[in-house]
Amino acid sequence: MERLKMRIFKDKFGLLFLSVIFVNILMEGNLFAIEFEDIISKGNSLKFYGFIRLDVIYDDSKTDNAQIPFYVLSEDVSAGGKQDDAVYTMHPRLSRLGIDFKGSEIPHLFNGMVSGKFEMDFQNRVPGVSDPNSSVESRAFPRIRHMFLKLSWDKFFIMGGQNWDIISPLMPSVSNDTLMWNAGNTGDRRPQLRIGYETKELSIAGGAALTNAVDRKDLDTNGIRDGEDSAVPHLQGRVAYAFATPWAGDKKTGIGIWGAYLWEDANTKGKYTGNIIGADLTMPVTDRLAVRGELWSGQNLSDLRGGIGQGVNTITKKEIGSSGGWVEMLYSLPTNFVAAGYTVDDPDDNDLPSSSTIASGGTTADGRTKNQAYYIAERFKP
């Protein structure tokens, strides 16, 4: 017992001694002062940015997920659906924090200029029966949006990390969370290695990326995503050109052509490929009004946000083809903009599993035949 008392006394004395030293350091002032140069070396810079955001969402019919909706569930009562089953939610998960990094020349890499980005939010797990592993709503996990480094030599560059897909570079102005994915807009973020050439008019980029980074497809349930099981990364590329539009002041018209190809090996469940080819257009009508949009077609596109999330028909062991796109008119002012548009994702009905009805859950086994939307959006930036 005496030893225990002595141990407690020593611990308390040691803690008191450290506290006195710490207070003394604070009083000395400059002994442990941290300058910005101690965080990042001279010639490099960091730019911090971000925002705090609250989303309030109301749907007059039930969607596949209240916070991250991709499609409306079937209201067919005979298939278990409900008519006008409204849903409401709110969350701050899209609040964002980011850092842009700009470095100096690297002599040992032919004087390449290094830059990078780190960006995060909290929209990676959403509570609900659709995700039994999701976190408690008030304990959101951080999500990596971007995390990459880029080396540039004049017009050439190499980029490695997580970034947007090379394909499908435009985004509809409505729903800046799910971005009309699985409803006509394709492309997402994923780990990749990219090389490219960029001028003010011409852009050429190609790269290798991680398959199943989005859909996590593992048809044979062996614990290895099917794209990784194929031992081959999927490939992406895009060529784009921008040219002057005389009737719209200094605004330019941009046209891009892009595509991707992927491989998946599900062993006893089959081997599959996926592909997409598409085009994007941005054309100013006046200095404030523009037409924007994308058009695409392909197969096995669940990992690229196409086919309404349906990639493979597991019954016939065939890839599901799909076509779609979106178009919008965008009117911009200094503090706000208004957009009106249409999106559509239309899988090939012959590739879908046959079923007499589409279940209210809208599962892949029942087949989702078409997803389309008309929209209008107004965004004000005070």
Q: Are 192 and 186 in contact (CB under 8 A)?
A: no
**What is the pLDDT, as a whole number, of residue 40?**
77
Token digits of residue 256: 């891009």
CB proximity list for 83: less than 8 A, separation 6 or greater? 75, 77
Q: In the prediction, which pLDDT does 323 show?
A: 98
DSSP code at position 233: -
The reported pLDDT for the residue numbered 2 is 44
Q: pLDDT tens digits, residue range 114-170?
A: 999 999 999 876 555 445 455 567 777 789 999 999 999 999 999 999 999 999 999
Tokens of 228: 């990784």
**DSSP category for residue 185:** B
Q: What is the CA radius of gyration of the chain?
A: 26
* Digit-coded pLDDT (tens) for 309-353: 999 998 889 999 999 999 999 999 989 999 999 999 999 999 988
Helix (H, G, I), strand (E, B) or coil at 381: coil
Round to whole Å and give the CA distance between 161 and 164: 10
Q: Would you list the domain boundaries of the chain?
A: 1-33, 187-382
With cut-offs at 50, 70 and 90, classify the pLDDT of residue 75: confident
**Half-sphere exposure of residue 141: CA atoms within 13 angstroms, side-chain side:** 11
Q: What is the mean pLDDT of the chain?
A: 87
- 377 and 339 Cβ atoms separated by less than 8 Å: yes
Number of CB atoms found within 10 A of residue 139's CB = 9
Residue bearing tokens 């700009």: 102
SS3 141: coil
Provide the whole-model pTM.
Answer: 0.84
In this prediction, residue 9 carries a pLDDT of: 40
Query: Above 60 in pLDDT, residue 51?
Result: yes
**Cα gap 59→26, rounded to integer Å:** 55
Torsion of CA 179, 69, 86, 339, to 10 degrees: 10
pLDDT band at 41 (very low <50, low <70, confident <90, very high): confident
Give the separation between CA 302 and CA 238, rounded to whole angstroms. Answer: 20
